[in-house]
A and B are shown apart, each in its own frame.
Chain A
Amino acid sequence: MNLKKILVLLLSLAMVFSLAACSGGTDEGGSTDDGNTTPDATEPDDGGSTPDDGGEQEGTTGADSHLVSTEFITQSGANQDGQVDNVVIAMSSTSVNVGPFAPNSPGSVGKSALYGKLFFQPYSGAPIEECIPWLASGYEQIDEVTYRVTLYDYITDSKGNQITADDVIWSGQTSLEIGQFVDYGAGVESVEKEDDYTLVFHMTNTSPNLFASIVCNGNFCIVDQEWYEGASDEEKSTDPATTSAYTVKEFVSGSRAVLEARDDYWQTDAALNEGILPAYQNVKTVTYTAITEASMRVIALQNGEVDISPISSTDLGNFYDSATGESLEGWTVLRPAPTYVQAIFPNMSDQSIVGQNLDLRKAIFHALDAESIMMAAGESTATSILLNAFGNPLYQGYQSVWDEGDYWEYDPELASEYLASAGFEPGEVTVRLLTSSGLYTDSVRSVIISQLNAVGINVENISVEQALFSTYKNDKTVWDLMMDLKGSATGHIANLYSYNFDADNYAEGQDGVNFWKDQGVYDLIDKVNDDPSDANIQEFEQYLRDNAAIMGLYGNSVINVAQDGVTEFGYNGMLEPAACVYADDYVSAGD
């Protein structure tokens, strides 16, 4: 046998091995490409918390419910009579953390199931009137910026400590000081204790939804001060004193955390628990297990190793038929209403050629096809929506009229005309495009670059990892165009405007997310915050359009998939396994 024959034999063996490994995986196997363009987390950055009165309610967002696609879920879950022994949930980070002041990251698991908040937000961005008292028994608005909150006087944690107003004040302040709760610092002027079970919150401003966003916030985890200050680091991570319906049964650093339903949960009145999803106990133990690779999470689902897992939108085809709009047999898919806003920001400073030329910005926006960019990101109409403004329909204050008119229509000819009126010949101008390599795939960049090239705008691609991106995006000398995702901390669109364009939120001389130093926009921010009326909000959006200051592309969110025995998800903006509804004969992946 000569060398060629040996080589042929070996290559054949390698191919057989590959085929053997891959067989059966073509229609079930996972993609290896994590093309998800959302932060890899199941938690919203406004940290909303839990329950609902049960029964899936599709397409309801309260004030603007008519605006949300009926295909997307904003809240669901129910209190089940029976209790499933165990469910296994995949998470995308190995930085497993069950502490009350852990960051809102994929590794911070079960924070709402472990630590109670004052109120529970039934869906992302719900106003305070719709929030359900949890550790608080109620509230009273004293004036525009002052609220009195009363606590139940029988709250005890899993170690028997009594929770009082002092603990609430300390918990908020500690979360702020530790760097996890910046909204608290920005939104709360002070908190006074009136007595052991009464507090008065003084807010810094009258922004809509501000109070709700603070008292329902996922980072406002309330724990007993005395216990926390006396506990060792190990105790905090393996056996914390919890104020919600679960406690930590097992903790393996970097790998998994097992939460167990408390038999001694302090709220025994079922009526007062109604609607608070994390306080439901449909599962005896919830195991969170770290699976970092998106493709491996798909495999774990298909292998029956996990019950529920977040997936990349590019993997959705394994579990969902977009043509029929149904989950494939064997699966239940949670497609939440998009919470994020993917947008193109032009650098509006005098350091950028784009910022100096309105027609150039218009040329750029008309040259870009948002749908193509969305598809390149692995998204589809099954997972995302195209935006018609800077904001998505989930936000309070979103205007339905925006969905009726044109929004930066893809029109290369018009783009070419604007380029000419901007004073540039095709190929004469070059813009620097800044993107995060962690958030967006090369396909997204390729589409943007090719579309701009098609109208004669050259692009210098600056694709950097997330840490560098977070620095570069604050440097006006680095980029002309930036693609980034944004959310609203309070769930109100006024807040989205404020955080992105209010100079007070940025370093001196920077003036907003895209360095837009403009008195007109500052005045409009104040106007919208003082009176978030439809007219004022529409005026603000129109001002953005007139100045071509931003281009909303698409909205998306994190998709979760469960074994089909999970008949309904517990969801209010984040997944709540304890409020999911399970089939009577459900056998967990962990069993």
Chain B
Amino acid sequence: MLRFIGRRLLQMIPILLVVAVIIFTLMELVPGDPVRIMLGDFATEAQVEEERERLGLNRPFLERFWEFIKGAVQLDFGVSYITKTSVSDELIERFPRTLKLALLSICVSALFGIPIGILCAIKANKLPDRIALVLTLLCNSMPSFWLALLLVLLFSVNLNWLPSGGIGGAQYYVLPVISSSIGSIAGIARQTRASMLEVIRADYITTAKSKGLSQKAVILKHALGNALIPIITVIGGQFSFLMGGTTIVESVYSFPGLGLYIISGINNRDYPIVRGGVLYIAFTFSFIMLLIDIIYAFVDPRIRSQYSGKKKKKSKEAEAAA
């Protein structure tokens, strides 16, 4: 397993390198001059040129790319053209907030989504299933900005229970978490239902039932365990998405997370923010996918046995060679 993790971590290096090349090149090609945005209309052409020189934008592409890679290796993504603050510091400052929001949201999603999915599978094509299906469809279709505004109007304006935005104590997370979770709950519930339906028709479930096991034991012990792989995949995908920053939710709730930061960088053609932000997202996504693969191994003995099987096979070969 350790070898697998090590190999996957090494594989992340070329992935991040490719992402770096792509984002660096794309930002070069995207029209929009960051210096013009920064200096405004009153800047003369001479001042614009001077600033471009100061920022190093007139240097050759490869030279600048090499500088970027060298900095990125040391987690130094440079200084924002617009705010003049360190991009790395800002990413580090905002990361815990986004992580907290993403973790809370994914936990809420899983806590509601999986039981709803199981219920739908058990009661397949019956009333609870149909209600849940329509509800999940509704949740999936609901634009998050619309839901966010409705939640604010209800809980902040009318009931005055919760703050409408910002960050602070736990109460500031309630509405953003609900807004981020609703869509995920629906996705996880639908995936859980589909996976469970596939599993509960399997012969070993019939066998378990015929052995006189309770439905709870059959579902939770035998069925759910075998249905978890695709559910974990969906949860992992949702979590990666949330870790990239839920821009709309962050915007509505003025939540100073990574999504808003990266979007502001894109809008201002603030290259250091965009490059740093995209590399962060690529790394986070790769890392979460690695975690998902590791969780697979813990959840599914067949996958675990692949890793240990390879190890055993190699040790046997070594013994034979000796």
Tell me the A residues contacting B by CB distance below 8 Å.
1, 3, 6-7, 10, 14, 17-18, 20-25, 28-29, 32, 45, 93-95, 97, 99, 101-103, 105, 107, 177-179, 182-183, 185-186, 233-234, 237, 252-256, 289-293, 295-296, 299-300, 302-303, 305, 438, 465-468, 470-472, 474, 486, 489, 499, 504-508, 510, 513
Tell me, rounded to whole Å, the shortest Cβ–Cβ distance linking B2 to chain A: 37
- Beyond A94-B254, A299-B157, whether A186 also contacts B44 by CB under 8 A is yes
Contact check, B84 vs A499: say whether CB atoms are below 8 A apart: no
Which residues of A sit under 8 angstroms from B93, Cβ to Cβ?
Answer: 253-254
Which residues of A sit under 8 angstroms from B257, Cβ to Cβ?
Answer: 254
- Beyond A97-B83, A254-B256, whether A179 also contacts B38 by CB under 8 A is yes
* The 5 residue pairs across chains A and B that have the minimum distance between CB atoms: A254-B256, A467-B32, A21-B154, A507-B45, A21-B150
Contact check, B150 vs A22: say whether CB atoms are below 8 A apart: yes
Contact check, A499 vs B42: say whether CB atoms are below 8 A apart: yes
Among candidates A186, A295, A465, residue contacting B149 with C-beta atoms closer than 8 Å: A295
In the assembly, what is the distance between CA of A177 and CA of B251, in Å? 33
Contact check, B157 vs A29: say whether CB atoms are below 8 A apart: yes
Which residues of B sit under 8 angstroms from A102, Cβ to Cβ?
Answer: 83-84
Can you show 6 pairs from A to B with CB atoms below 8 A apart? Answer: A22-B153, A102-B83, A233-B85, A289-B166, A291-B166, A466-B37
Contact check, A21 vs B151: say whether CB atoms are below 8 A apart: yes
Among candidates A45, A256, A291, A438, residue contacting B40 with C-beta atoms closer than 8 Å: A45
Which residues of A sit under 8 angstroms from B156, Cβ to Cβ?
Answer: 299, 303
Contact check, B164 vs A470: say whether CB atoms are below 8 A apart: no
B127 within 8 A of A: yes
Query: Which of B93, B94, B256 counts the most A-chain CB atoms under 10 A from its CB?
Result: B256
In the assembly, what is the distance between CA of A296 and CA of B83, in Å? 24
Binds A, one of B213-221, B259-267, B287-295: B259-267
- Tell me the nearest residue of chain B to A23, going by C-beta: B158
Query: Which of A29, A303, A504 counts the most B-chain CB atoms under 10 A from its CB?
Result: A303
In the assembly, what is the distance between CA of A233 and CA of B268, in Å? 22
Among candidates B32, B165, B254, B264, residue contacting A470 with C-beta atoms closer than 8 Å: B32
In the assembly, what is the distance between CA of A467 and CA of B264, in Å? 11
Binds A, one of B4-12, B100-108, B128-136: B128-136
Contact check, A296 vs B94: say whether CB atoms are below 8 A apart: no
In the assembly, what is the distance between CA of A28 and CA of B158, in Å? 11
B305 within 8 A of A: no
Which residues of B sit under 8 angstroms from A296, Cβ to Cβ?
Answer: 152, 164-165, 252-254
Contact check, B252 vs A293: say whether CB atoms are below 8 A apart: yes
Which residues of A sit under 8 angstroms from B157, Cβ to Cβ?
Answer: 24-25, 28-29, 299, 302-303
Which residues of B sit under 8 angstroms from A6, Cβ to Cβ?
Answer: 127, 130-131, 134
Which residues of A sit under 8 angstroms from B94, Cβ to Cβ?
Answer: 253-254
Encoded as 1 (CB less than 8 Å from any A CB) or 0, chain B from 28 to 49 comes to 0001111111111111110100
- Beyond A255-B167, A468-B32, whether A499 also contacts B41 by CB under 8 A is yes
